[in-house]
A and B are shown apart, each in its own frame.
Chain A
Amino acid sequence: MAEKRERYHNRIELLQGTLDLLILQTLQWGPQHGYGISVAIRNRSGELLQVDTGSLYPALHRLEKQKWIKAEWRISENKQRAKFYQLTAAGKKQLTRERSKWSQLSDAIAGVLQLEE
Chain B
Amino acid sequence: MSFWRRKKREAELNEEVQNHLEMATRERMDRGDAAFEAERAVRREFGNVELVKEVTRDVWGWRWLRDVADDARFGLRMLWKNPSFMVVAVLTLALGIGANTALFSVVKAVLLNSLPYSDPNRLVTLAEGDRETRDPIKVSYGAAEDWKARSRSFQSIALYEAWTPTSTGEQIPHIVYGLRVTQNFFPTLGVRPAIGRSILPEDDRPDRWHMVLLSHGYWMRRFAGNPKVIGTNITLDQIPFEIAGILPENFQPLSFSDAGSAPDVWAPLGYDLSLPEAGRTWQHLQSVARLKDGVSVGQARAEMNTIAGQLAREFPKDYAPDLQVKLTPLHESWYGKVQSALWMLLGATAFVLLIACANVASLLLARTEGKQREVALRAALGASRARIARQLLTESALVSLLGGAGGILLAVWGTQLLISWGPQEIPRLSEVHLEGSILIFTLVVSMATGMLTGLVPALQAARVDQREALQQTSRSFVGVSRGRFRSLLVVAEVGLAFVLAAGSGLLSKSFVRAVSVNPGFDSQNLYTTNFALFGPKYEDRKAVVRFERAAVERIRSLPGVEAAGIASTLPSGGDFDQAGFHIQDRMISDPQVPSVDRYQVSPDYFRAMGIPLKRGRLFTEADAAGTSRVAIIGEMTARKMWPNEDPIGKRIQLGGRHEDRPWAEIIGIVGDVHQYGLDSPATPQAYLLYTYEPFTRPCLVIRSRLNTEALTREIESQVRALDKNVPLWNPAPMGEILSESLARRRFTTGLFGCFGFLALLLAAIGIYGVMTYQVAQRTGEIGIRMALGAQRRDVLTMVLSGSGRLVSLGIGFGLCGAVSLSRLLRGQLYGISPNDPLTLGGVVMLVMLVALLACFAPARRATRLDPMVALRYE
Contact = CB atoms under 8 A, between A and B. Distances in A.
A85 B810 CA distance: 69
Given A35-B23, A35-B24, A54 B59 contact: no
B51 interface: yes
Contact of A34 (B20, B48, B59, B60): B20
A93 interface: no
B20 A78 contact: no
A51 to B, nearest CB: 11
Contacts of A61: 56, 59-60
A70 B595 CA distance: 95
B58 A58 contact: yes
B59 A83 contact: no
B19 A83 contact: yes
A57 interface: yes
Interface in A79-117: 80-83
Interface size range on B against A: 20 to 34
A35 B20 contact: yes
A52 interface: yes
Contacts of B59: 58, 61-62, 65
Given A35-B23, A61-B56, A78-B26, A53 B47 contact: yes
Where chain A touches its partner, the secondary structure class is helix
Given A35-B24, A52-B47, A53-B47, A58 B19 contact: no
Interface stretch (B10-18, B202-210, B510-518, B744-752): B10-18
A32 B817 CA distance: 74
Given A35-B24, A61-B60, A53 B52 contact: yes
14 contacts: A33-B19, A34-B20, A35-B19, A35-B20, A53-B47, A57-B13, A57-B17, A57-B52, A65-B59, A76-B23, A78-B23, A82-B16, A82-B23, A83-B12
B495 to A, nearest CB: 50
Interface in A18-37: 33-36
In order of increasing CB-CB distance, the 3 nearest A-B pairs are: A57-B56, A61-B59, A35-B20
Given A58-B59, A78-B23, A53 B46 contact: yes
Contacts of B539: none
Given A58-B55, A61-B59, A53 B20 contact: yes
A94 B388 CA distance: 41
A83 B16 contact: yes
A80 B26 CA distance: 12
B249 interface: no
Nearest to B12: A83
B52 A54 contact: yes
Contacts of B16: 33-34, 57, 82-83
A54 B55 contact: yes
Interface in B21-44: 22-24, 26-27
Interface centre among A33, A53, A82, A83 (most CB of B within 10 A): A53
Nearest to B61: A65
Nearest to A50: B45
Interface in B58-78: 58-60
Given A57-B16, A57-B53, A80-B22, 6 more contacts: A35-B23, A38-B20, A52-B47, A57-B52, A57-B55, A83-B16
Contact of A54 (B13, B27, B51, B60): B51
A89 to B, nearest CB: 22
A83 B47 CA distance: 20
Contacts of B12: 83
A110 B605 CA distance: 118
A56 to B, nearest CB: 8
A38 B24 CA distance: 10
B63 to A, nearest CB: 12
B23 A83 contact: no
A44 B52 CA distance: 24
Nearest to B17: A57
Contacts of A54: 47-48, 51-52, 55
B36 to A, nearest CB: 20
A82 B18 CA distance: 10
Contacts of B47: 52-54
Contacts of A62: 59
B52 A82 contact: no
A80 B15 CA distance: 11
Contacts of A52: 47
Given A52-B47, A61-B60, A80 B19 contact: yes
Interface in A54-71: 54, 57-58, 61-62, 65
Contacts of B22: 80
Contacts of A34: 16, 19-20
A57 B57 CA distance: 9
Most buried by B among A36, A38, A57, A83: A57
A35 B42 CA distance: 12
A14 to B, nearest CB: 15
Contacts of B53: 57
Q: Identify which of A52, A54, A65 gathers the most chain B CB atoms within 10 Å of its CB.
A: A54
B648 to A, nearest CB: 103
A65 B57 CA distance: 12
Contacts of A76: 19, 23
Nearest to A77: B23
A81 B53 CA distance: 19
A35 B26 CA distance: 12
Nearest to B16: A83
Interface string B651-690: 0000000000000000000000000000000000000000
B457 to A, nearest CB: 31
Nearest to B59: A61
B382 to A, nearest CB: 12
A4 to B, nearest CB: 9
Interface in B208-236: none
Interface in B336-371: none
Nearest to B9: A61
A61 B17 CA distance: 13
Most B CB within 10 A of own CB, among A39, A58, A65: A58
Contacts of A83: 12, 15-16, 19
